[in-house]
Amino acid sequence: MTVVVDMASWLCLLAGGVFCIIGGIGLLRMPDFYTRMHAASVIDTLGAGLILLGLILQAGFTLVAVKLLMIGLLLSFTGPVAAHALARAAMVRGVKPLLHAEGGASSKP
Q: Quick check: helix, strand or coil at residue 71?
A: helix
Q: Is residue 101 part of a domain?
A: no
Residue 35 domain flag: yes
Q: Is residue 106 part of a domain?
A: no
Per-residue pLDDT tens for 5-56?
A: 999 999 999 999 999 998 889 889 988 888 888 888 888 889 999 999 999 9
Percent of residues, the chain, with pLDDT higher than 70: 90
> Is residue 19 in a domain?
yes
Q: Answer yes or no: is 49 within a domain.
A: yes
Q: Residue 76: which domain range?
A: 2-93
Considering its fold, how many domains does the chain have in total?
1
48 is a domain residue? yes
Classify residue 105: in a domain, yes or no. no
E-only strand ranges, 27-76:
none
Residue 57: inside a domain = yes
User: Is the pTM of the predicted complex or chain greater than 0.85?
Assistant: no
Rounded alpha-carbon distances, angstroms, from residue 61 to 6, 52, 57, 67, 78: 14, 14, 8, 11, 25
Q: Which of 50, 28, 23 is nearest to 39 (CA)?
A: 23
